[in-house]
């Protein structure tokens, strides 16, 4: 029988193995559950780190490894499974429950080990996320069409729903026959608006992984379109030949399709003629996963591009009732009960007939008739009746809107806005500086007064539907139809905006036309025309020139009347000299020959000089000859040396911008500092960094400043990129102060607090609470404050009193970090008021505050009516966020004490805290990150 043993033993062992494993589930159930909990806690800690890294990458537009979102979802799913496993002691005779707990715990441990191994394979990089890549953290929304301030969208929504829904269904469809579609209709009917709504809808739903949007325009250049597409997908083109570049894009698109990067939407907006898809790397039919959406005024263009007729969505004019509702709500005219109102209603209906239901035309005319008398309505109708609403009729409509602009400077700013490139962001600061050079603002004496006037005029033009709000702060846009009208108005001002796609402007400029203003995008031009004789020119703007472009030596000879000269993104611009009428010179983001600007000292009439981003290293003494200079912009001029005597002679200077934001600051000599002390007494605007230089704030006067960006002990933050028309040009009054409160009081910079919009305090260690930095705490000391950051202030015990907190009526963002002894944000001790209200606070972040007891102390009610995001990280003293009524606060240690109102909270993040639930009503569970969706109404109504 000995020969049987070697055979039987393996068989028995193989049969006993599963039995032993299953017995282990039963016998060692408690140990397996404990081991699962430990491993899961370790995994959750790792997941927190991954989540935070993902948020940092999203915030900085960096690529997040593709499998990270799915990995986090798996971690969350395992945590949910683990919650259903009993963790308490199970009776010895509860065999089924013990066996199930042990088995499920073992499975979760296996999954946990697998996920930890996968985590080690996640590789984070600093690769930038392409602009066309749909962000992984986009929040979904059910709202597809938003209502504008004037209610227009709500009126148009009813007549456009069917078109919108059909177009959206086609975009979301997997039907290969519905890969190309178009929105078609006349100018001003709302094609681009609906395209943007469709884009937002599919972006919110994450229907597409990539959305590449390009504005084509009337005079498009295929090479520029190729460049835009390449930049948006994150693969810039180095080739020069158009066909080679197209082949490179085609290869990239093919890889995207083959790699499984499906659902790629290409949007071509404002197409005026047939686009050869091969020029932009596309083929017909489109590759798998690709879809194309275009907008065009011409239906024939859509047909020529092989878009099927059933996929050309025609956006028509408004129906009669919709048009009436739009005009009456725009002019705010009451009922037709009395005779005069009845007459105006009849006139309005005649105007509607001429407008033909075109939304842009209706709102443009109606806004000019708001609060006008009957005879003005009759006059408007009389002028409209001369032409029908074709292309020329539309221009006539804008002509009426233009004639209803009463102020000369309002008209002037409107016409100047039309000179900027098609579909560009028009920076209001450019309107100010060019307008000052053209002497628009004769009723004001200072640059500050002119800026207020520009802002007033721009707002009026937006309300008149002649300008459009831009997504970029500090900028506006102009509808291409309105721009066409402006550039056709030669009877008012002779101006032209030209884009060169070759090496000459000759075919684009009419030699006999006495142009007064010209904008020329130089493109690939290498030699400027020799015979460029426009002796009536008052404004010339040259931009985006090739590095090899050269100008004739006598370029300025015939330009005796030139008042404004602007170069932008130009290599080696030809600097002017001895031009007696030149009042504004802008050299933005240009490379200057030898970085020498001495020659500019001969421009004795100059009042505005912009050298931002030019890279000059010396401001020569000869510029002291510019005794009329009112605005000097040296932003981004790194490591700049200033000759003695420059500031001393600029006795008319009102605005001085010298922030570098990165690199070496401006080098001040002792003499420079003495001169700055004198000139600062007259300044209305100052941008300056007191950092790594001899300039001292105690020697500068801040008394008259209305506009400022000032830092002490650190560099200013870079908020926009010079020369980038797509970036924000927002200027908010900013103080970034890395110093003690005693030094702040000594230099009297706290005189600016009432006007400050952004305040960042760093290492103010001798500050016990915010009022310490004030000399005499006035009422509403920070009345304009919108953003406040307090960092590394070791002596801070609390931040606000109740009265100060309630006075921050404009505060939108509050960040407090690394304040080791901070106990409360608001301390209501010795105050009769028991209610704290942060009226406009939308974002609150508290980070690394080891001694924080609660948000507010000695406060009965905390109101946060606008708060949408709440981040709590490194607050070890809190076990819950919201207490119940009549709770012993000392026992549960809530973040909010007593009653709190947060009706709009959308996102809550909790990290490195002992908090395991939101409130005592919740089941205990890990709560390191918690975006609130369904809980929103519960948090709004919860009293504590």
CA distances from 7 to 17, 20, 426 (A): 16, 21, 88
Question: By the 8 A CB rule, do 130 and 234 touch?
Answer: yes
**What six digits make up the tokens of 31?**
């140990």
Burial classification of residue 122, based on how many CB atoms lie within 10 Å of its CB (0-12 exposed, 13-18 middle, 19 or more buried): middle
The residues with which 608 forms a beta bridge, in sequence order, are 584, 631
Exposure b/e, 611-642, CB count within 10 A at least 16 = b = bbbbebebbbbbbbbbebbbbbbbbbbeebeb
* Cis amide linkage into residue 274, ω under 30° from 0: no
The rounded distance, in Å, linking the Cα atoms of 730 and 472 is 8
Where do we find the tokens 């400022």? 708
Count of Cβ atoms closer than 10 Å to residue 354 Cβ: 20
Helix (H) or strand (E) segment spanning residue 744: helix 741-747
Beta bridge partners of 265: 211, 291
SS3 content of the chain, % helix, strand, coil (to 5): 35, 15, 45
- Under DSSP, the state recorded for 767 is -
Q: What pTM was computed for the model? A: 0.66
Phi, psi of 250 (to 5 degrees): -60, -45
Predicted local confidence at residue 4, as pLDDT: 47
Residue pointed to by tokens 């009297």: 748
Pairing outcome for strands 907-911 and 929-931: antiparallel
Residues in Cβ contact with 657 at an 8 Å cutoff, skipping those fewer than 6 apart: 612, 632, 633, 634, 635, 685, 686, 687
Position 336 scores a pLDDT of 53
CA-to-CA dists, residue 888 to 715, 824, 892, 944, angstroms: 47, 18, 7, 12
Burial of 571 (0-12, 13-18, 19+ CB in 10 A): middle
Phi-psi region of 770 (alpha: psi -120 to 50; beta: other; left: phi over 0): alpha
Report strand pairing: 426-427 vs 475-477: antiparallel
Report which of 914, 787, 901 is spatially closest to residue 850, judged by C-alpha positions. 914
Q: Strand order of the sheet with strand 468-469?
A: 426-427, 475-477, 468-469
Helix (H, G, I), strand (E, B) or coil at 691: coil
CA distance 23 to 2: 31
Find the farthest-apart pair of alpha carbons in the chain and give their distance in angstroms, rounded. 124
Question: What's residue 241's pLDDT?
Answer: 87
N-term to C-term CA, the chain: 80
Q: What 3 state SS string does 587-613 have?
A: EECCECHHHCCHHHHHCCCCCEEECCC
User: Quick one: which of 78, 103, 86, 94 has its CA closest to 28?
Assistant: 103
CB 183 within 8 A of CB 167: yes
Q: Is residue 172 a contact partner of residue 267, using CB atoms and an 8 Å limit?
A: no
Question: How far is the C-alpha of 203 from the C-alpha of 264, rounded, in Å?
Answer: 11
- Token digits of residue 182: 């178009």
Rounded CA-CA distance 899/939 in Å is: 11
Residue ranges of the chain with per-residue pLDDT less than 70: 1-32, 56-61, 63, 84-103, 125-159, 186-187, 259-262, 317, 334-340, 356, 386-394, 396-397, 465, 481, 489-491, 500-512, 663, 718-729, 775-779, 884-892, 915-944
Residue 883 DSSP label: P
Question: Rounded distance, CA 726 to CA 258, Å?
Answer: 32
Going from the C-alpha of 930 to that of each of 52, 204, 815, 872, 902, the distances in angstroms are 13, 20, 19, 11, 15
Nearest by Cα to 95 from 19, 27, 18, 20: 27
Q: Can you tell me the distance from the alpha carbon of 861 to that of 858, in angstroms, rounded to the nearest whole number?
A: 10
Per-residue confidence (pLDDT) for residue 391, from 0 to 100 = 42
Tokens coding 519: 């904008």
Residue of 365, 398, 478, 465 whose CA lies nearest to 149:
465
User: Cβ neighbours of residue 693 under 8 Å, at least 6 residues apart?
Assistant: 665, 666, 667, 668
CA distance 734 to 715: 12
- Note the pLDDT of residue 944: 32
DSSP 622: G
Q: What is the pLDDT of residues 47-81, one digit of tens each?
A: 887 787 777 666 556 767 777 777 888 888 877 77
Given a contact cutoff of 8 angstroms between Cβ atoms, the answer to whether 899 and 889 are in contact is no
Integer-rounded Cα Rg, in Å, for the chain is: 33
Using alpha carbons, list the distances in angstroms from residue 937 to 397, 902, 915, 926: 48, 9, 21, 21
């Amino acid at each position: 029988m000995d020969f049987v043993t070697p055979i039987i033993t393996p068989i028995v062992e193989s049969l006993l193995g599963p039995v032993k494993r299953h017995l282990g589930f039963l016998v060692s159930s408690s140990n397996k559950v404990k081991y699962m909990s430990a491993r899961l806690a370790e995994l959750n800690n790792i997941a927190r780190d991954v989540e935070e890294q993902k948020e940092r990458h999203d915030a900085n537009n960096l690529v997040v490894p593709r499998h990270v979102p799915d990995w986090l979802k798996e971690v969350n799913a395992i945590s949910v499974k683990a919650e259903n496993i009993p963790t308490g002691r199970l009776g010895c005779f509860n065999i089924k429950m013990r066996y199930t707990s042990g088995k499920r715990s073992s499975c979760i441990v296996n999954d946990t080990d697998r996920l930890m191994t996968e985590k080690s394979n996640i590789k984070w990089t600093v690769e930038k996320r392409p602009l066309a890549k749909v962000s992984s953290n986009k929040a979904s929304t059910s709202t597809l069409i938003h209502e504008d301030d004037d209610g227009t969208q709500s009126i148009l929504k009813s007549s456009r729903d069917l078109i919108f829904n059909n177009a959206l269904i086609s975009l979301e469809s997997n039907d290969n026959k519905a890969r190309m579609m178009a929105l078609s209709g006349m100018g001003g009917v709302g094609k681009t608006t609906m395209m943007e709504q469709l884009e937002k809808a599919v972006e919110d739903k994450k229907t597409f992984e990539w959305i590449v949007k390009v504005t084509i325009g009337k005079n498009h250049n295929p090479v520029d379109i190729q460049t835009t597409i390449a930049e948006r997908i994150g693969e810039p083109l180095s080739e020069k030949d158009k066909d080679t570049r197209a082949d490179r894009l085609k290869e990239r698109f093919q890889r995207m399709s083959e790699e499984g990067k499906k659902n790629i939407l290409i949007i071509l907006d404002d197409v005026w003629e047939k686009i050869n898809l091969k020029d932009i790397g596309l083929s017909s039919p489109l590759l798998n996963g690709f879809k194309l959406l275009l907008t065009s005024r011409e239906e024939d263009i859509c047909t020529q591009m092989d878009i099927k007729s059933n996929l050309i969505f025609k956006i028509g004019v408004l129906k009669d009732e919709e048009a009436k509702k739009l005009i009456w709500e725009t002019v705010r005219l009451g009922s037709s009960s009395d005779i005069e109102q009845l007459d105006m209603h009849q006139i309005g209906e005649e105007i509607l007939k001429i407008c033909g239901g075109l939304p842009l035309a209706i709102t443009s005319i109606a806004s000019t008739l708001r609060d006008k008398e009957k005879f003005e309505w009759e006059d408007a109708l009389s002028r409209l009746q001369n032409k029908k609403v074709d292309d020329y009729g539309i221009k006539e409509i804008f002509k009426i809107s233009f004639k209803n602009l009463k102020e000369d400077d309002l008209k002037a700013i409107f016409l100047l806005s039309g000179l900027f490139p098609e579909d560009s962001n028009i920076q209001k600061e450019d309107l100010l500086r060019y307008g000052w050079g053209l002497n628009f603002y004769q009723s004001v004496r200072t640059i500050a007064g002119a800026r207020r006037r520009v802002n007033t005029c721009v707002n009026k033009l937006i309300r008149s539907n002649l300008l459009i709000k831009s997504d970029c702060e500090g900028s506006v846009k102009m509808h291409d139809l309105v721009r066409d009208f402006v550039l056709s108005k030669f009877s008012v001002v002779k101006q032209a905006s030209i884009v060169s796609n070759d090496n000459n402007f000759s075919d684009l400029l009419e030699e006999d036309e006495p142009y007064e203003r010209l904008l020329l995008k130089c493109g690939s031009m290498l030699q400027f025309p020799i015979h460029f004789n426009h002796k009536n020119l008052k404004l010339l703007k040259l931009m985006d020139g090739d590095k090899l472009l050269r100008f004739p030596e006598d370029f300025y000879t015939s330009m005796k009347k030139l008042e404004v000269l602007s170069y932008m993104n130009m290599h080696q611009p030809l600097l002017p000299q001895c031009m007696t009428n030149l009042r504004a010179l802008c050299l933005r983001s240009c490379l200057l020959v030898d970085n020498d600007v001495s020659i500019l000292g001969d421009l004795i009439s100059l009042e505005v000089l912009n050298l931002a981003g030019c890279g000059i290293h010396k401001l020569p003494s000869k510029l002291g000859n510019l005794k009329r200079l009112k605005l000097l912009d040296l932003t981004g001029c790194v490591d700049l040396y200033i000759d003695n005597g420059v500031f001393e002679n600029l006795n008319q200077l009102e605005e001085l911008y010298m922030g570098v934001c990165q690199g070496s600051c401006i080098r001040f000599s002792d003499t420079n500092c003495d001169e700055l002390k004198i000139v600062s007494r007259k300044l209305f605007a100052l941008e300056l960094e007191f950092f790594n230089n001899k300039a001292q704030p105690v020697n500068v006067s801040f008394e008259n400043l209305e506009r400022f960006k000032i830092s002490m002990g650190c560099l200013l933050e870079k908020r926009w990129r010079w020369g980038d028309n797509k970036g924000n040009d927002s200027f908010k009054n900013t103080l970034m102060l890395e110093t003690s409160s005693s030094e702040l009081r000594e230099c009297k910079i706290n005189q600016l607090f009432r006007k400050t919009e952004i305040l960042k305090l760093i290492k103010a260690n001798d500050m016990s609470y915010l009022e310490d930095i004030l000399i005499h705490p006035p009422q509403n000391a920070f009345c304009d404050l919108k953003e406040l950051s307090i960092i590394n202030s070791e002596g801070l015990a609390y931040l606000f009193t109740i009265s100060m907190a309630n006075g921050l009526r404009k505060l939108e963002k509050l960040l407090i970090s690394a304040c080791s002894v901070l106990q409360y944000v608001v301390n209501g001790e010795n105050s009769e008021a028991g209610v704290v209200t942060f009226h406009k606070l939308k974002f609150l972040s508290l980070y690394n505050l080891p001694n924080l007891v609660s948000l507010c102390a000695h406060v009965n009610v905390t109101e946060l009516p606008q708060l949408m995001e709440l981040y709590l990280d490194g607050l070890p003293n809190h076990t819950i966020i919201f207490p119940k009524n009549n709770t012993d606060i000392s026992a549960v240690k809530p973040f909010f004490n007593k009653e709190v109102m947060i009706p709009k909270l959308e996102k809550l993040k909790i990290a490195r805290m002992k908090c395991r639930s939101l409130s005592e009503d919740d089941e205990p569970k890990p709560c390191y990150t918690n975006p609130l969706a369904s809980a929103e109404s519960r948090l709004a109504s919860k009293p504590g």
